[in-house]
A and B are shown apart, each in its own frame.
Chain A
Amino acid sequence: MKKKVKVLKDYFDQKRIHPAPLAIFRILFGCLMLVALIRFWANGWIFNIYIEPDFHFKYVGFEWVDDLGQFTYMLYALAIVACFGIILGYHYRLAMIAFFVLFTYTELIDKTTYLNHYYFTSCVAFILCFLPAGDYFSLDTRRKGLKITTIPAWMIDSLKLFLAIVYFYAGIAKINSDWLLQAQPLSLWLSSKYHLPFIGGLLQLKWVHYAASWSGMLYDVFIPFFLLYPKTRRIAFVFVVLFHVMTKIFFPSIGMFPYIMLFSATIFFSLEWHQSLIKKLKTQLQKITVFLQYFKDTNKFPLSPIAFSPKGYVLPLLLFFFTVQILFPFRYLAYPGELFWNEEGYRFSWRVMLMEKKGYTIFKVRDSINQKTFYVNNADFLTPFQERQMSFQPDFILEYAHYLADHFTQQGHQNVQIFADSFVALNGRPSQRFIDPTVDLATQKMSIKHKTWVLPFADEIQGL
């Protein structure tokens, strides 16, 4: 026991590593985010998702986060500027913190657009705020006149650990009866890709769905270990590339996710790989005239090398962050009922591509004084994207019900009651009534407490 504690202490106190992997990670992350933000903008999603909707679905505790109208574009413009700061390592710390705050703010505006890889991005950005990724192979080195030669190994390992958590948790979430025994939802999704050239026919075969489900689960659970172990790293990365390329082919709508995971995995590569890549990059950069002066100057005024030591709060803070990361996905255990059905504790848990869930939910408004009722046309209040997401997620349904109650009260209706007529189908099962139609949702409080008005799931899904 004592020995183990000493090993751990030595690891945190003494084990040090060259900062090259951190610099490469910084540049890759900055470039990916730059592309992601520009793509988001170019697709018109800033307008469609943040500005156009009349109201936003909020995260509990972040109700104060709202879109800034046309100024929402400014948030993105600033985040794009921050990306350049990150890539070039120019005022890196400021750029990284700005990126983290801006990106996370936009994500918090509306949970309709929640994606695991947006959450991943925010988490990585958070970690990067505390790492000296801008003090090597960057413009800051020249600005400050110094470059770091070593950093504590746990700094780079924290990024590896985070990626490992993401993969591993995504993997164990797939250990459930729908995924492994029914090959759902992959069976539904893959067979609908009949139009893909060459592989469309193959995707119709039942065994292919099972093979994809099982290999997907095994991949997610084991890939972090194979990436960590030097002897298997090469072949593991081949699998990373294959896996993510395939997911991009099968599911084009997953956007930037494959690229982010693919390039992030390079953090596992050896120090030599990173150093030789930096060397190559330097040679290439020197060919570009604008950088010529920079490299000349650094040769003339050599940067003073320093061994980097972080501030005292960084390690405890990251330890706390990781404790939360490890425990948070298990919060679903605190709720009764089926997780996939109630979605209590579903988000922020690396549950990716686990469900094909479709819903149909309409609302009956009742004026309890004059007893008159009428149904709401959802399209009057929600964008198609919001309506689709709202239809099968209980917290969305409740929030929207409250919005409707407020709206119709303002219109002069009295003692407004809201009832949901809601049906949901999960992973290819027949649709089933989802919300208790006799419960007045306007009287139900919005909280993270268990929602008793969601009708129980008629089937059972075994697993983690």
Chain B
Amino acid sequence: MMRKTILLSALLFIQCASEDEPMDVDNPVNTGSNIDTTSTPQEFERNGMLVFWVDNIIVPAYNQLDTSLFTLSEKAAAFTENPSSTTLISLRNQWLATYSHWQYVEMFDIGLAEEIYYKNRMNLFPANVTRIENNISGNSYNLDASSYFTSQGFSALDYLIFGAGENDDGIIALYTASDLNYGNYLVEVTDKMIDLTEQIKTQWEGDYRDTFVQSTDNTATSALNKMVNDFVFYYEKGYRANKIGIPAGIFSTSPLPDRIEAYHGEVYAKILALEASNAVYQFFNGIAYNDASTNGLSLKDYLDYIEADEDDKLSGRINAKFETAKNKINDLNANFKQQIQEDNNAMLLTYDAIQSNVVLLKVDMLQKLNVSVDYADADGD
């Protein structure tokens, strides 16, 4: 009896096999094309989506960040060698530009980036000022140890070039006094950021890209599922909580204005939050990093493919909420610290606007995509 059964199962499989078209992973579709342009209904090209993500979003964003970091290191060197108001302003401008570029990279917490805690080393805030000062004043330290993650990256630079002295003259004085070591630390932090970014860029340029784009299975460990989870996680944590929720006091009994991004620069948190909201929007909609007119397969297309029969598309509702949230951020004071102290309610409303999309992304989208996150056995009940 058993033998018959096995034979039967085999027959079933063979029959199914003849009706199936294997997905061509080696020859992905033209990444610029859109699913809607195909004449006959066909399987969504998940592989094409991953290819677009890597080639048109992730790698270009890393390249931009890398270039930007090199310029930053030049400006840091220029300021250290010749501390002046001019070199300081030039350094600050470049810091803001690079910090803005960073907003397009933070969500890609996958591969080596995940292994080396890249995002924590680049942008954990608030910076630990005491620790930074200790490092500078000659205590031994190790930037690779997790306890020093808050004394490096963009938030450390923020302190070093905005908050280290009483005012600009005070800061310049610190860097002029060569025995004080501020310049060396500034350069070291910048170099570290370059080093880490280069490592990850190198990984993407190597075999990892091909492994990534072919990992389209619906399993807990596939690149597709991890990337979707990373995106949702970034939206909820990196964007919603870190930039708005925590400083607005959502998770504490009172607002915490000292928890804003770029605290010492004060007036940059809004710009950075807007960049992040744009990064999220572009990723969801498959807009190329370098060229806003280039579109590719995206989560939006994937959802639309699944919801082909629906009139009120989930992707439309998600995009509407992206827009609302962006407008709310736009209405805020450039200085979040001031905004929180003077009218935290506007901050809370902004948080609500971002939050309402967490539900659509985390519940509705993940249910439609049926992205699997397996923790233990489940029988669907």
Contact = CB atoms under 8 A, between A and B. Distances in A.
A268 to B, nearest CB: 13
A257 interface: yes
Interface in B349-380: 358-360, 362-364, 366-380
Contacts of B366: 358
B379 A360 contact: no
A242 B254 contact: no
Interface string A357-381: 0111000000100001111110000
A445 to B, nearest CB: 25
Contacts of B217: 195
A360 B358 contact: yes
Contact of A185 (B1, B253, B378, B380): B380
B9 interface: yes
A115 B19 contact: no
Contact of A354 (B218, B251, B377, B381): B381
Contacts of A351: 381
A360 B363 contact: yes
Contacts of B254: 372
B21 interface: yes
B12 interface: yes
Contacts of A106: none
A245 B376 contact: no
A117 B379 contact: yes
Contact of A425 (B249, B358, B367): B367
Contacts of B378: 115, 253-254
B250 A358 contact: no
Given A353-B379, A372-B253, A372-B254, A192 B359 contact: no
A456 interface: no
A195 B363 contact: no
Contact of B376 (A113, A200, A352, A359): A113
A456 to B, nearest CB: 18
B5 A242 contact: yes
B253 A198 contact: no
Nearest to B224: A195
Interface in A415-457: 423-425, 428, 430-431
A388 interface: yes
A277 B250 CA distance: 66
Contact of B379 (A115, A199, A367): A115
Given A116-B381, A354-B380, A374 B249 contact: yes
B8 interface: yes
Contacts of B146: none
A330 to B, nearest CB: 17
A384 B229 CA distance: 13
A140 B376 CA distance: 37
B216 interface: yes
Interface stretch (A159-167, A233-241, A292-300, A301-309): A233-241
B292 interface: no
B20 A201 contact: yes
Contact of B12 (A242, A255, A372, A374): A242
B364 A192 contact: no
Nearest to A431: B363
Most central of B217, B253, B367, B371 by chain A CB within 10 Å? B367
B1 A237 contact: yes
A355 interface: yes
A254 B375 contact: no
Q: How large is the interface on A (under 10, 10 to 19, 20 to 34, 35 or more residues)?
A: 35 or more
A189 interface: yes
A62 to B, nearest CB: 19
A104 interface: no
A321 interface: no
A430 B314 contact: yes
A66 interface: no
Nearest to B250: A375
A257 to B, nearest CB: 6
Contacts of B43: 194, 201, 204
A200 to B, nearest CB: 6
A207 interface: no
Nearest to A349: B381
A45 interface: yes
Nearest to A273: B1
A48 interface: yes
B363 A359 contact: yes
A367 B250 CA distance: 14
A194 B314 CA distance: 21
Contact of A193 (B218, B222, B369, B379): B218
A238 B306 CA distance: 34
Nearest to B252: A374
A188 interface: yes
Contacts of B12: 242
A127 to B, nearest CB: 21
A385 interface: yes
A364 B156 CA distance: 33
Contacts of A255: 377
Interface in A176-223: 185, 188-189, 191-195, 197-202, 204
20 contacts: A48-B375, A115-B381, A185-B380, A188-B367, A192-B371, A199-B17, A199-B20, A201-B21, A201-B43, A202-B16, A234-B1, A251-B379, A253-B372, A347-B381, A353-B380, A358-B366, A374-B249, A423-B363, A431-B359, A431-B360
Given A114-B381, A116-B381, A360-B359, 5 more contacts: A49-B376, A351-B381, A360-B362, A385-B376, A388-B375
Interface of A: 43, 45, 48-49, 113-117, 185, 188-189, 191-195, 197-202, 204, 234, 237-238, 241-242, 245, 251, 253-257, 346-347, 351-356, 358-360, 367, 372-377, 383-385, 388, 423-425, 428, 430-431
Q: Which 6 A-B pairs have the closest CB atoms?
A: A192-B370, A255-B377, A195-B217, A353-B380, A201-B20, A198-B17
